[in-house]
Structure 1
Amino acid sequence: MRNRIITLPLLMLLFAPFAAFAQQADAILGNWLNEEKDAKVQIYKSGNKYFGKIVWIAHQFEDDGKTPRKDSKNPDAALRNRGILNLVILQNFEYDDGAWEDGKIYDPKSGKTYSSKMKLSDGKLNIRGYVGVSLLGRTTIWTRSN
């Protein structure tokens, strides 16, 4: 009985860092407004990876006011008819030491996909998209939304 009493606190001490790691890794979960404030992206987790999909856009319809906006700039002609709403634009990010890395970000405004990494700073999400090396890229800053 005494061994069980000693073992339980010891196990709790061993697993506490893993719980804190998971909380830090999940800190980006939720809704974020892009820098232009014309789209809201919901970041979610699937397995150990992080993804983001567009859940709101300011200009939801084409000029006719009826037709939902499509992914018309996509380089793959087969994907140009998919809607912008619910489009997954952040893919396969993995948490590592305070940053989410090795992911991809898709820009439906240009139809381009970039390597990407993300980092939280002062409650804002800094997302760097780049080609090749991180130095050859641009950072956008997103703010948390409801």
Structure 2
Amino acid sequence: MGYFSMLLLLAAGTSPPGVEGNWLTDDGKGVVQIAPCGAHMCGRIARVLDKGPGVPASDINNPDPKLRGQPILGLVTLSGFSRDGAVWKDGRAYDPKSGRSYRASLRLNPDGSLKVTGCVLFICQSRRWTRMR
């Protein structure tokens, strides 16, 4: 968002756009719906677009054997995010492909895409998700 756009938002008394909505993942294999869950923001798998052979319908890689039967559709993959200015931080991202969870943050890019960053210790990786209309 440019300086002039930010001034217009401030003058209008509105806040910058939020992360709520449906987002196409960077690999194009799913859509995550981000919405409030209590006082935080969370994301659930809203659609599975990967229909190839061997695509699991349940969370088979979950480290907890009791949770491996839960369906992928509706699975919470983002949880606990709190807004701090233009960043949603202190959240967790769960990757059902690996069964691992990461410390995570969310930030809107100037082009309207979403930067999803996951970290283990001091090593972080970011992915770019695209808002679905």
Q: If the TM-score is normalised by the length of the shorter chain, which range does it land in?
A: 0.7 to 0.9
CA distance in 1, matches of 2:78, 2:87: 14
- Of 103, 109, 113 in structure 2, the residue corresponding to residue 124 of structure 1 is 113
Residue 46 of structure 2 is aligned with which of 18, 32, 55?
A: 55
Task: Give the match for residue 96 of structure 1.
Answer: 84
CA distance in structure 2 between the partners assigned to 1:112 and 1:132 by the alignment: 13
Tell me whether 1:87 sits opposite 2:75 in the alignment. Answer: yes
Q: Larger % of helix: which?
A: 1
Matched, 1:139 2:99: no
Hey, what's the Cα distance between the residues in 2 that align with 1:60 and 1:85?
A: 13
Q: Which runs of 4+ in 1 moved over 6 A?
A: none
Q: Which residue of 2 aligns with 1:13?
A: none
1:61 shift after superposition: 8.2
Q: TM-score, normalised by structure 2?
A: 0.83
How far apart, in 1, do the equivalents of 2:49 and 2:21 lie? 19
Gaps of 5+ in 2: 1-9
* Count of matched residue positions in the alignment of Structure 1 and Structure 2: 122
Asked if residue 33 in structure 1 is aligned to residue 27 in structure 2, the reply is no
Q: Percent identity?
A: 35
Which residue number in structure 2 is paired with residue 8 of structure 1?
none
User: 1:71 is matched with which residue?
Assistant: 59
